[in-house]
């Protein structure tokens, strides 16, 4: 059966002599993989609609028991190709896309996840906000949708130079109260940044260095790995962290 769906391209890779395999997150079907025959030919019907981080409409042959679906056609809804001229913004977009690919099962639609993916790309496209703040805000919202969100009470850390979180429930604790493997300690600058990003405040006004960014990324790795009960890591992060 021929179907149409709106989707955001997560990644693409070469297949055979002239084709591509495209991974997308669609609004109607969730994560899907398409075989785009002839997509690497100089003259092909897909154009730039298959490029990573592109918002496109796809026409495909839907076979429920098949993981790889044949792509019939595609049209660009919005291109974010200009992100490639701003490496940090582009890599953050790829980290967001990879987070969705890593955490979502095939054919499990979730419009909330689709919307935060799209909203994140629009924020990156505007280039008005520090890109890692967009990633962290996305991760807060993704954890919320997946059911392991947490809240941070500013009154609990306002007078501390360091703050320790329990990764099980996200609550602020004292180090001696819990197994060390289930805690994560932030500096004052990191927790202030973390708090402001979570509540949608403009993180661009907060100074944060590469070491602090790396440390906050390590938190997301540990937090998602614990709650997903499997190793969570992003290959694309190696280009930014």
Residue 155 reports pLDDT greater than 80: no
pLDDT score of 172: 82
Identify the residue with better confidence: 176 or 56.
56
Phi-psi region of 206 (alpha: psi -120 to 50; beta: other; left: phi over 0): beta
| Whether pTM exceeds 0.85 | yes
Q: Is 209 or 201 the better-scoring residue by pLDDT? A: 209
SS3 72: strand
Nearest to 237 by CA among 99, 80, 50, 31: 99
Q: What is the largest CA-CA distance in the chain?
A: 64
For residue 107, which of 60, 48, 50, 53 has the smallest C-alpha distance? 60
Q: Which domains does the chain have, with CATH numbers?
A: 2-79 (2.40.50.140), 83-239 (1.20.1440.120)
pLDDT band at 153 (very low <50, low <70, confident <90, very high): confident
Q: Can you say whether residue 107 is alpha, beta or left, with left for phi > 0 and alpha for psi between -120 and 50 degrees?
A: left
Tens digits of per-residue pLDDT, 102-131?
A: 999 999 999 999 999 999 999 999 988 889
pLDDT digits (tens, 9 = 90+) for 192-208: 888 888 887 655 567 78
Alpha-carbon gap, residue 122 to 107, rounded angstroms: 25
Residue 118 in contact with residue 8, Cβ under 8 Å?
yes
Beta-carbon contacts of 99 under 8 Å, excluding residues fewer than 6 positions away, are 138, 139, 142, 234
Distance CA 27, CA 115 (A): 8
Please return the burial class of 135, using the count of CB atoms within 10 Å of its CB with bins 0-12, 13-18 and 19+.
buried
pLDDT of residue 105: 96
Average pLDDT of the segment spanning 226-239:
95
DSSP at 182: G
What is the model's pLDDT at position 205? 62
The helices-and-strands tally (H runs, E runs) of the chain is 5, 8
Rounded to whole angstroms, how far apart are CA atoms 122 and 77?
13
Residue 219 reports pLDDT greater than 90: yes
Where are the strands (E) in 83-187, listed by range?
A: 162-166, 172-173, 183-187
In the chain, pLDDT over 90 holds for what percent of residues?
73
Rounded to 5 degrees, what angle do the CA atoms 172, 174, 177 make? 110
């Amino acid at each position: 059966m021929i179907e149409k769906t709106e989707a955001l391209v997560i990644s693409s890779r070469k297949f055979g002599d002239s084709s591509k395999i495209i991974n997308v997150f669609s609004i109607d079907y969730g994560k899907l993989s398409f075989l785009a025959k002839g997509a690497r030919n100089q003259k092909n019907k897909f154009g730039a609609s298959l490029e990573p981080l592109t918002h496109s409409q796809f026409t495909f042959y839907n076979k429920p028991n098949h993981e790889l679906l044949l792509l019939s056609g595609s049209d660009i809804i919005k291109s974010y190709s200009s992100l490639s001229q701003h490496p940090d913004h582009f890599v953050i977009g790829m980290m967001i896309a990879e987070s969705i690919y890593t955490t979502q099962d095939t054919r499990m639609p979730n419009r909330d996840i689709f919307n935060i993916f799209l909203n994140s790309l629009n924020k990156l496209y505007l280039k008005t906000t520090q890109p890692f703040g967009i990633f962290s805000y996305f991760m807060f919202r993704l954890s919320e949708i997946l059911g392991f969100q947490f809240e941070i009470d500013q009154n609990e850390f306002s007078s501390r130079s360091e703050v320790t979180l329990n990764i099980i429930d996200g609550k602020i604790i004292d180090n001696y109260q819990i197994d060390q493997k289930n805690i994560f300690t932030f500096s004052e600058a990191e927790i202030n940044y973390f708090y402001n990003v979570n509540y949608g405040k403009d993180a661009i006004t907060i100074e944060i260095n590469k070491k602090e960014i790396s440390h906050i990324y390590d938190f997301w790795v540990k937090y998602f790995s614990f709650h997903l009960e499997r190793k969570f890591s992003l290959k694309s992060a190696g280009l930014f962290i």
